[in-house]
Structure formats: C-alpha cells, structure tokens
Chains A and B, each alone.
Chain A
C-alpha cells in the first residue's frame, strides 16, 4: 500500500512569490493535515481537511491557505512568501474525524530567498 506522497521534494522561491505544495493521502483516508517544521520552532499544526472541508486551522496568517479535492488529495498555498516561511512542510493523513494515527509523508522543503 502506498504511503502519503508529497510534491515537490524541494521548492525554491523568492520573497513575495507564491508557493503551492501538494499531498496525496493513503488510499481510503479522508483526512489530510498540514504541519510546518521550521528550524528552532518545532512542528506546528497548520490545517486539517476532511471530506473537502477545513476542520481546524493553526495559528498562521491567512496567506497560508489550502484545499482538499474530491479525491481527498490536498494543496497548500503560501502567498506573499517571507524568509521565515522557509521550512519543511509535512502532510499527514488519517482515516477520518475520529482521533486516529496520522501517517506522514516525506515532506516538501521550501526555501525562500
């Protein structure tokens, strides 16, 4: 069974640009989560989507947004990139609304120059 996949592996952008990160969950999983792991800040929760709806959002500005598609894949968009957005962005998936194991993908390394 394929795990959570993310693309691209690495992304280099300049300040002010937009970045789009993609995630495909494990087959059968309906919930997708996004986390940011920035140096010195640890793993921070960004967004939770289930059945196409945003269920919860972490303490991030509105320029971090996303969506979940009918096939349960998800996209994270970061607008007006700032240097401090440089981080590893991790996507996870789980079976649904019930609290359950979250399985993580390999991450997208975003570098903002």
Chain B
C-alpha cells in the first residue's frame, strides 16, 4: 500500500507561476525525498530532507517538512514549461534508527505548465 498521499493529483498553471504540491505520510521516517518523472521514464532526484530538518532549498525548489503533521510540501517558483512532469514524494521509513531501505511513494502530482 502507498504510504504517501499527494495533493493535488493534477495541477495546471501558466509559465512564471508558482506550483505547490503536498504530501502526507503515516509512519516515522528517516528522510523524505522528492522526485520528478517525465513521461513514464526514470525518476530524477530533486531534493532530500531529513527528519530533523524543517526546510530546504535547491534552486527554484523549496521543500518543507512537518514531522508532527507527517506532511511535506514542494514549491516550484517561477515555473517553466520544462517543469511539466509527474512529481512524487517518497519516504524512507525507520524503526529504532534502522532503515528498511525501501522508499514508499505517493501516487504523484501531474504538473502541467503552459507556455
């Protein structure tokens, strides 16, 4: 079963606008990662935020993590047509500090950026 729930399922915006995607999860985690997937191809790693971090930036990306609410958000600022893709959050669950190795993915948000 999927641990993560993402919303919205689909997001359509104009170039230059900001895009915000949200992710919720259920168990304690080591870290949370965001990935992008173009047209059913491989996943491109965007950013990793550890459980003891609250916010992280990478270029036009800003990720927040609220472990008390078990939620994360990904903000893409000044979006471009090339940002059109599916975006997934993935959590690395842990028990007693040990990782199970597996990432549990949300269903993803399909982002369409119109030129």
* A contact residues vs B (CB 8 Å cutoff): 4, 31, 33, 35, 37, 42-43, 45, 48, 50, 55-56, 58, 88, 90, 92, 97-107, 109
Say whether A56 contacts B101, CB under 8 Å. Answer: yes
In the complex, per-residue mask of B85-115: 1 if CB is within 8 Å of any chain A CB, else 0: 0001010101000011111111110000000
A-B contact pairs, 23 of them (CB 8 A): A37-B40, A42-B106, A43-B88, A43-B90, A43-B103, A43-B105, A48-B100, A48-B101, A58-B102, A90-B42, A90-B43, A98-B99, A99-B31, A99-B92, A99-B94, A99-B99, A100-B48, A101-B45, A102-B33, A102-B103, A104-B35, A104-B43, A106-B41
B71 lies within 8 A of chain A by Cβ: no
Cβ of B33: which chain A residues have Cβ within 8 Å of it?
101-102
Q: Give the nearest-CB partner of B33 in chain A.
A: A101
Say whether A104 contacts B45, CB under 8 Å. Answer: yes
In the complex, per-residue mask of B22-65: 1 if CB is within 8 Å of any chain A CB, else 0: 00000000110101000011111100100000000000000000
Main secondary structure of the interface of B (DSSP, over half): strand
Q: Give the nearest-CB partner of A91 in chain B.
A: B42
Other-chain residue from A37, A45, A97 in contact with B104 (beta carbon distance below 8 A): A45
Say whether A103 contacts B45, CB under 8 Å. Answer: yes
Q: Determine the distance from Cα of A53 to Cα of B90 in the docked complex, in whole angstroms.
A: 24
| Given A99-B30, A104-B35: A45 touches B102 (CB 8 Å cut-off) | yes
Q: Determine the distance from Cα of A20 to Cα of B70 in the docked complex, in whole angstroms.
A: 38
Say whether B45 contacts A56, CB under 8 Å. Answer: no
B2 lies within 8 A of chain A by Cβ: yes
Q: Which 5 A-B pairs have the closest CB atoms?
A: A45-B102, A48-B101, A99-B30, A99-B99, A43-B105
Q: Determine the distance from Cα of A99 to Cα of B92 in the docked complex, in whole angstroms.
A: 7
| Most chain A C-beta atoms within 10 Å of own C-beta, residue among B31, B45, B99, B107 | B99
Q: Determine the distance from Cα of A68 to Cα of B97 in the docked complex, in whole angstroms.
A: 25
Cβ of B104: which chain A residues have Cβ within 8 Å of it?
45
Q: Determine the distance from Cα of A107 to Cα of B39 in the docked complex, in whole angstroms.
A: 12
| Most chain A C-beta atoms within 10 Å of own C-beta, residue among B2, B40, B102, B107 | B102
